[in-house]
C-alpha cells in the first residue's frame, strides 16, 4: 500500500484536466482536416526526437468516448480540450469543415451528458500552414483570420459552450516558435519575433470582443508564466533577470492588465507594431486570466558575444522533472508568481485559473500500472502552493492538471509522459495511473 502525499486544498476551487488537439487526436488526414505548422514539423526528417508523427498518438479523434469516460471517473468539474483550427477551417480561411465541427459538437454533448463543463482552447499552436506561408503571427492579418475561425466555432458550439480559452501560451509561440526555433514554425528570428506578441494579443482581443457581444460568454487567454531568479547576487545577473522577466512575462501580461507594453526601448528593442485603438481593445476587462505554470527560471548574465543578454541555467539545489535540470520542481515558486502578479496588477488582475500544471517523469512504456508517486508529489506540492496564494489574497478559481493523457510531446515525441492516464501508443489502450486515482480522491474529498 503506497502512502502518497496530501495537498492543502482551497475551499471552493474548481478542478479540471487539460489536453491539446494536435497532441492527442491523431487522424491527421481524416475528414477533410487541413495542414498545420506542426504537420510540417513532424513531416521533416530528423526533427522529432523519436521520429514520432503524432498519429495515431492517443487516437482521441476516434476514441473520444474513452476520454469522456475517464473524465467522468475523475469527477472533475471541467475539461480543457483543444479545437484544431485546421479541422474546422482546413486552410485557415473560408467556410467551416462540417466533419470537424461535428466532431467537436459531439464531444461537447458527451461532456455535458456526464456533467463535465466543456472548456475549449481555440488555438493551441496549430496554425494553418497556408497562413504561416503568408507571414504567420508576424502578419497582423493573422489576427483577423483567427477571429474568423473563432466565429465558425462559436456559431456551432456557442449555444452550449460559454467558457473559452482563446490562445495558449503566446510566450512559447514567440520565444520558442519564432525566436529560437525550438517549436513550430522553427524560426530563429531572436528579437525579430516580437511582432508576434502583439498580433497574438490582438487576436485574443478580437475574439473576446466578438464573444462578449454575443452575450453569455466568459473569455480568457492562457499565458505561460515563470518567476525569474538571478543565479548570483550581482548587478549583471539582476539585470539579466529583469530582461528575461520582461520578455517571458511582462510583455504578454502588461498590455492585457495595465494597457501598455513595458519599455522595450530601454533594452534596445524596437517598439511593438501598435495601431490606434489596439491597446484599448487588448486591455478591455478580462473575465479570467489563465496561468500555465511548470517551474521557475534561473538566469545569469550572458558572456561573450551572445545575441541575448541572459543565459538560462539550472535552478540550484532543486530536483527536476524528466525534462532535465531547467525544469526545476519548486512548488513555492507558484505562490511567489501568483502573489507577485496580484501585487503588480492589483484590481486589474481578474480571477486566475491555473490552466496547466503538471510534470513528466521517466515511466515504462508498457506498464500494466504506473505507480507515479513523483507526479503525485509534484501535484500535491503545487496545489498546496495555490492554497498558500489564496490564503495571501489571490483569487484563484480553478486548478487544471496537465495532462489527462500521455500524448505527443512536441519535439520530444513520445519520450515524455505527462498523463494521469497511461496510453499505449500502438493500441490506444488507456490505463489510469496511481496519480489518476489520487486526483480523483482529492476532487471527491474537496467536496465533502
Catalytic (active-site) positions: 356
Any idea what DSSP says for residue 57?
Answer: T
Whose grid coordinates read 540550484? Answer: 316
74 close to 14: Cβ distance less than 8 angstroms: no
The grid cell for 336 is 511567489
398 close to 391: Cβ distance less than 8 angstroms: no
Burial degree of 11 (CB within 10 A; 0-12, 13-18, 19+): exposed
Q: For the CA atoms of 147, 153, 156, 160, what is the dihedral angle to 10 degrees?
A: -110
291 close to 354: Cβ distance less than 8 angstroms: yes
| Spatial separation of the C-alpha atoms in residues 222 and 168, rounded to whole Å | 5
Q: Which positions ≥6 away from 75 have C-beta within 8 Å?
A: 15, 440, 443, 444
375 close to 419: Cβ distance less than 8 angstroms: no
CA atoms 151, 155, 156, 161: torsion sign? positive
| Spatial separation of the C-alpha atoms in residues 246 and 254, rounded to whole Å | 9
| Spatial separation of the C-alpha atoms in residues 168 and 352, rounded to whole Å | 15
| Spatial separation of the C-alpha atoms in residues 348 and 283, rounded to whole Å | 10
Does residue 234 have a cis bond before it (omega within 30 degrees)?
Answer: no
- Spatial CA neighbour of 381 closest among 442, 437, 311: 442
Q: Judging by DSSP bridges, how do beta strands 297-301 and 228-230 pair with one another?
A: parallel
- Spatial CA neighbour of 39 closest among 17, 23, 18, 15: 23
| Spatial separation of the C-alpha atoms in residues 91 and 123, rounded to whole Å | 15
Distances (CA, A) of 254 to 145, 168, 203, 248, 250: 24, 17, 16, 11, 5
**Element containing residue 340 per DSSP (H, E):** helix 332-345
Collapse the DSSP code of 103 into the 3-class scheme (helix H, G, I; strand E, B; otherwise coil) and give the result.
Answer: helix
Q: How many CA atoms lie within 13 A of 82 on its CB side?
A: 27
Collapse the DSSP code of 223 into the 3-class scheme (helix H, G, I; strand E, B; otherwise coil) and give the result.
Answer: strand
Amino acid at each position: 500500500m503506497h502512502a502518497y502525499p496530501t495537498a492543502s486544498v482551497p475551499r471552493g476551487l474548481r478542478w479540471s484536466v487539460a489536453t491539446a488537439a494536435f497532441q492527442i487526436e491523431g487522424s491527421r488526414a481524416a475528414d477533410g482536416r487541413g495542414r498545420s505548422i506542426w504537420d510540417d514539423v513532424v513531416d521533416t526528417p530528423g526533427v522529432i526526437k523519436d521520429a514520432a508523427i503524432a498519429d495515431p498518438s492517443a487516437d482521441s479523434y476516434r476514441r473520444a468516448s474513452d476520454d469522456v469516460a475517464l473524465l467522468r471517473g475523475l469527477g472533475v468539474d471541467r475539461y480543457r480540450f483543444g479545437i484544431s483550427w485546421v479541422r474546422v477551417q482546413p486552410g485557415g480561411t473560408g467556410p467551416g469543415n462540417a466533419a470537424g465541427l461535428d466532431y467537436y459538437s459531439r464531444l461537447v454533448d458527451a461532456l455535458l451528458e456526464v456533467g463535465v463543463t466543456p472548456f475549449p482552447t481555440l488555438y493551441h499552436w496549430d496554425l494553418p500552414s497556408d497562413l504561416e506561408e503568408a507571414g504567420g503571427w508576424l502578419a497582423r492579418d493573422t489576427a483577423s483570420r483567427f477571429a474568423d475561425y473563432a466565429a465558425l466555432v462559436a456559431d456551432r458550439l456557442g449555444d452550449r459552450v460559454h467558457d473559452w480559452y482563446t490562445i495558449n501560451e503566446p510566450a512559447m509561440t514567440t520565444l520558442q516558435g519564432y525566436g529560437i526555433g525550438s517549436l513550430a514554425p522553427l524560426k530563429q528570428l531572436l528579437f525579430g519575433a516580437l511582432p508576434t506578441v502583439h498580433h497574438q494579443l490582438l487576436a485574443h482581443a478580437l475574439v473576446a470582443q466578438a464573444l462578449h457581444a454575443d452575450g453569455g460568454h466568459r473569455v480568457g487567454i492562457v499565458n505561460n508564466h515563470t518567476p525569474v531568479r538571478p543565479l548570483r547576487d550581482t548587478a549583471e545577473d539582476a539585470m539579466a533577470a529583469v530582461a528575461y522577466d520582461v520578455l517571458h512575462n511582462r510583455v504578454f501580461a502588461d498590455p492585457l492588465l495595465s494597457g501598455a507594453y513595458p519599455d522595450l526601448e530601454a533594452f534596445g528593442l524596437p517598439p511593438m507594431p501598435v495601431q490606434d485603438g489596439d491597446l484599448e481593445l487588448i486591455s478591455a476587462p478580462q473575465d479570467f486570466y489563465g496561468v500555465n505554470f511548470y517551474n521557475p527560471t534561473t538566469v545569469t548574465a550572458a558572456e561573450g558575444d551572445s545575441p541575448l543578454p541572459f543565459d538560462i541555467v539550472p535552478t540550484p539545489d532543486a530536483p527536476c522533472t524528466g525534462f532535465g535540470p531547467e525544469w526545476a520542481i519548486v512548488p513555492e515558486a507558484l505562490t511567489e508568481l501568483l502573489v507577485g502578479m496580484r501585487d503588480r496588477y492589483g484590481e486589474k488582475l481578474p480571477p486566475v485559473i491555473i490552466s496547466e500544471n503538471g510534470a513528466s517523469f521517466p515511466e515504462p512504456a508498457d506498464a500494466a500500472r504506473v505507480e507515479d508517486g513523483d507526479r503525485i508529489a509534484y501535484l500535491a506540492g503545487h496545489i498546496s502552493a495555490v492554497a498558500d496564494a489564496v490564503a495571501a489574497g489571490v483569487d484563484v478559481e480553478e486548478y487544471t492538471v496537465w495532462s489527462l493523457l500521455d500524448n505527443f510531446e512536441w519535439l520530444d515525441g513520445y519520450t515524455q509522459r505527462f498523463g494521469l492516464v497511461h496510453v499505449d501508443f500502438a493500441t490506444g489502450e488507456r490505463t489510469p495511473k496511481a496519480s489518476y486515482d489520487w486526483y480523483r480522491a482529492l476532487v471527491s474529498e474537496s467536496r465533502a
